[in-house]
Amino acid sequence: MFTRESPSTGPGSPRVVGFYDAASGSCQYVAIDPATKKAALIDIVMDFDPAHARTRADSPQEVLDFVATEGLTVEWVLDTHPHADHLMASAWLKDRTGAPNAIGAQVREIGKLWEDIYHSPGAFDPDRDFDRLFEDGETFKLGELDVKVMLSPGHTLGSITYVIGDAAFVHDTFMHVDSGTARADFPGGSSSELYDSLMEILSLPDETRLFIGHDYPPVGDRTDPAWEATVAEHKAHNKHLGGGTSKADYVKLRDDRDATLSLPDRMLHALQFNLRGGRLPEPEADGNSYFKIPANKL
């Protein structure tokens, strides 16, 4: 995987190492407290071959190999939302590190929404599959660093941002400054709510490093993935918001753009995996797990 490091800027600031998964365009992170070498693994990808419905763990193992080489202790396995474009490695990582896994509390509502779409009543129980369900404004520790949770709906109704010192993990809200912002047309999404979330993120201090969820190079002359820019850089140069964009103009821009996009090829597999905390559906009588795919519904 392509990797890049963002060093700590001083006391209270995490060191951040990003890993890029080209197959899904996903940006994954290890956030590290330099003082204690405690780490949080954020939005780590489980490999998936949609054509064969086959999972692998090459990518999360690469992250764990990095953790071992650096002498880090995994304190948290964190996800920002139940992703539609990749399978999450949450359960796999929890099983191998013993660290608690966590996501936002509104995942309960997302689960109810997708139970209806899959026509699978009672299929998802986030309280069973995650150790912590964070509420908006809740705080916790990563080593000696303070972490704050911000509810950031729009892409999904329950997406959350993790703010760790001068680093914010903003998932599918912003894209890189030269790409703009994320889509808001999935079930439960809202471009209006996304705009409000973007504005709240931009209210963080200008020097805050924003770490995004996806990048899809090439973009212009840029061929490598990019996932870090400051609040100040997004305010000035973000393709959709830079220089100031009204809510009405943004909603029209976002909705018009989203109307042209296809669903991710992993989406209908991913949601029923991720809403189980990163576990396959329960095996049936033959010992195999089966995905349920709704036809002509989305």
What is the distance in angstroms between the CA of the first residue and the CA of the last residue of the chain? Answer: 32
Are the CB atoms for 42 and 74 separated by under 8 Å?
no
Helix axes 58-70, 90-97, angle to 10 degrees: 40
Q: CA-to-CA distance for 204 and 161, rounded, in angstroms?
A: 12
Residues 121, 54: Cα–Cα separation, whole Å: 25
Q: pTM of whole model > 0.85? A: yes
Residue 77's DSSP bridge partners are 41, 101
Model pLDDT, residue 57: 98
Q: Which residues pair with 132 in a beta bridge?
A: 102
30: Cβ contacts below 8 Å, ≥ 6 apart: 16, 17, 19, 39, 40, 41, 42, 63, 66, 67, 72
Give the residue ranges of DSSP H helices in the chain: 58-70, 90-97, 107-118, 126-129, 191-202, 231-237, 247-258, 267-274
SS3 label, residue 1: coil
Do 148 and 137 contact (CB within 8 A), yes or no? yes
**What 3-state DSSP class applies to 285?**
coil
Q: In this structure, what are the phi and psi dihedrals at residue 181, rounded to the nearest 5 degrees?
A: -140, 170
Cα–Cα distance measured from residue 1 to residue 222, given in angstroms and rounded to the nearest whole number: 18
pLDDT band at 298 (very low <50, low <70, confident <90, very high): confident
pLDDT tens track for 179-228 = 999 999 999 999 999 999 999 999 999 999 999 999 999 999 999 999 99
Give the pair of three-digit tokens for residue 294.
Answer: 């709704």
In the sheet with 15-21, reading across from the earlier edge strand, the strands are 2-6, 15-21, 26-33, 38-42, 73-78, 101-104, 132-134
Q: To which CATH superfamily is domain 2-262 assigned?
A: Ribonuclease Z/Hydroxyacylglutathione hydrolase-like (3.60.15.10)
Sorted by where each begins, the domain ranges of the chain are 2-262
Structure-token match 């590290």, residue found:
32
Per-residue pLDDT tens digits for 36-93: 999 999 999 999 999 999 999 999 999 999 999 999 999 999 999 999 999 999 999 9
Q: Assess contact for 27 and 214: CB atoms under 8 A.
A: yes
Q: Dig out the tokens for 223 from the structure.
A: 């061929």
Residue 1 has pLDDT above 90, yes or no: no
The label of the residue with tokens 């090829």 reads 265
Residue 61 backbone class (left: φ over 0; alpha: ψ -120 to 50; beta: rest): alpha
In the prediction, which pLDDT does 297 show?
87
pLDDT band at 176 (very low <50, low <70, confident <90, very high): very high
